[in-house]
Amino acid sequence: MSIAFDEAGRPFIIVREQDKKERLKGIEAVKANIAAAKAVSRTLRSSLGPKGMDKMLQNQDGEVTVTNDGATILQQMDLQHQIAKLMVELSKAQDDEIGDGTTGVVVLCGALLERAERLIDQGIHPSRVSEGYETACDLSTELLARISDEITLNDTKLTEMKKVAMTTLNSKIVNRFKDKLADICVSAVTSVADFERKDVNLDLIKVEGKVGGKLEDTNLVNGILAIDKDFSHPQMPRRVEDAKICILTCPFEPPKPKTKHKLEIDSVEKYKDMQKAEMEYFQDMVKKVKDSGANLVICQWGFDDEANHLLYKAGLPAVRWVGGVEIELIALATGGRIIPRFSEISPEKLGRAGVVKEVHFGTTRDRMIVLEDCAKSKAVTIFVRGGNQMILEEAKRSIHDALCIVRNLVVDNRIVYGGGAAEIACSNYVAEKMNEIPGVEQHAVGAFSEALDSVVMALAENSGLNPIESLGEIKARQANEKNAHLGIDCMGLGESDMKKQSVFESLQSKQKQLQHATQMCRMILKIDDVIQPSRYE
């Protein structure tokens, strides 16, 4: 089995002479499944950690993506093997639930399966291996909770939160500006967080990007942005205070019959009659908006030139061609209702915002509409700049990961220490408890400890260190000094204490990595046959 690449640069797995072999069953099928999962894990192994390598992916349209985000890499890989697709789901589950650790969870799962294969070769049944892994995972998650530290969320600077976000950004392309981006992510989350309920609605944090400018031009806007939008008439005011917003999904245009029709105008009088009818139609539209008390119109569709002129004459600033996602977010933030027909406009359906203004940015005088001080929410927008689309998209992915990690700290404010410190502590603890486990599960518990060591070795290897020597030294120091903060010095700062290096990770993220990897490993070990559905010719 091996990884190959097609003409578009997309990787896929080749199982040699698969079509010539009979369908595998039993232990042979389990081992074949393990081989497929290991192939995927080996692909991501070199991307683990702050010094991990990036992968370049090319889609069918020729667009290139450069990233080391595990979920993004796996989602764009053309994987044909069913077990390989399960590894994609594993990474996606970690991304959806936690937002970070998508590479580490796949590498750990591959390491667990590699050790499981050795135990199966020794005659241990896959079910007993699964049970031992489950026991070791429970021991590890309990230890992580014991060695974790709590951070204070009432600190005005929220320095610990920032350090956790910086640890996440450290392994990304944007790590040169991790200090500023971490500040932005912490400010964004704390702006919308409900600390009493320990909940953060990430839908209120919108990440927008525009090619141009430098990455350090990225900033946080306390409101909602509509990029590449402006007021529809050049003489409309560029700032509206105490805005009462009418949010429309119906166009300022005459109705268009769905049936085919034909209108012949053969005289000046008929043309004037038609023009008068259109004028009355537009005047009625504008009057309904004006009578509701609105002083700003935001519309999903376009305006007829005549309607646009009448809106200006009526003193109603308007923004047109606003996308559906922005319309929904504006309605949510301002407390307004999306109005599909002019006949349904009423004062109670209007949204409210403190200030709505048109802003110019960049050297090309690009424009956008900003809504600040919205009535029903504290929605914010992170406005990302980048030199090209590839950097912009990677920056947005990195910011999303950091936002998720900070969100997790609001939900559970406990942290563990990175650089492999948590994995080494769990490995030592599980190895100590191994002799207390009865039966053959003892061997599986020991294999779990070895798999955790394998992840740390990958981290050291990607940092240019001697993996075996680095792992042995830190494991011995943790055991002798009883210090669970010691990890791999990936950045070469000469300090192995991750607490002093401020390399923090969310406890919730680390626990979920272990649990997700263990459960996926158990699922793969229990599959002993792959049955294709019947095909009717």
Residue entry with tokens 């939900």: 411
List the one residue out of 455, 390, 363 whose CA is nearest residue 63. Answer: 390
Catalytic residue among 43, 72, 103, 381: 103
Q: How far is CA 363 from CA 214, 367, 393, in A?
A: 12, 11, 21
Show Cβ contacts of residue 251 under 8 Å, excluding neighbours closer than 6 positions.
299, 301, 302, 303, 304
Q: Which run of H or E residues covers position 297?
A: strand 296-299
Cα Rg for the chain, rounded, in angstroms? 29
| Cβ atoms of residues 105 and 94 within 8 Å | yes
Closest C-alpha to 504, from 100, 196, 97: 100
- Name the region of 259 (left: φ>0; alpha: ψ -120 to 50; beta: rest): beta
Tokens for 250? 């119906």
DSSP single-letter state for residue 194 = B
Active site residue 381: no
Catalytic residue among 65, 67, 69, 72: 69
DSSP for 34-75, written as a single string: HHHHHHHHHHHHTT-STTPPPEEEE-TT--EEEE--HHHHHH
Q: Of the listed 95, 100, 230, 401, which one is catalytic?
A: 401
Helix ranges (H only) for 148-225 are 159-169, 178-192
Catalytic, 401? Answer: yes
Distance of alpha carbon 429 from alpha carbon 137, whole angstroms: 11
**What torsion do the CA atoms of 349, 354, 358, 362 make, to the nearest 10 degrees?**
-130
Alpha carbons within 13 angstroms on the beta-carbon side of residue 40 total 34
Options 43, 67, 72, 102, the catalytic residue: 102
C-alpha span between 3 and 37 (Å, rounded): 12
Active site residue 43: no
Which residues share a beta bridge with 221?
381
Residue 51 near residue 462, CB atoms below 8 Å? yes
SS3 of residue 362 by DSSP: coil
Query: At 46, which amino acid appears?
Result: S
Distance CA 484, CA 426 (A): 9
| Dist. CA 11–CA 79, nearest whole Å | 8
Cα–Cα distance for residue pair 302/290, rounded to 1 Å: 18
Count the neighbouring beta carbons within 10 Å of the beta carbon of residue 116.
27
Write the single-letter amino acid at 263: L
Burial of 107 (0-12, 13-18, 19+ CB in 10 A): buried
Residues marked as catalytic: 69, 102-103, 401
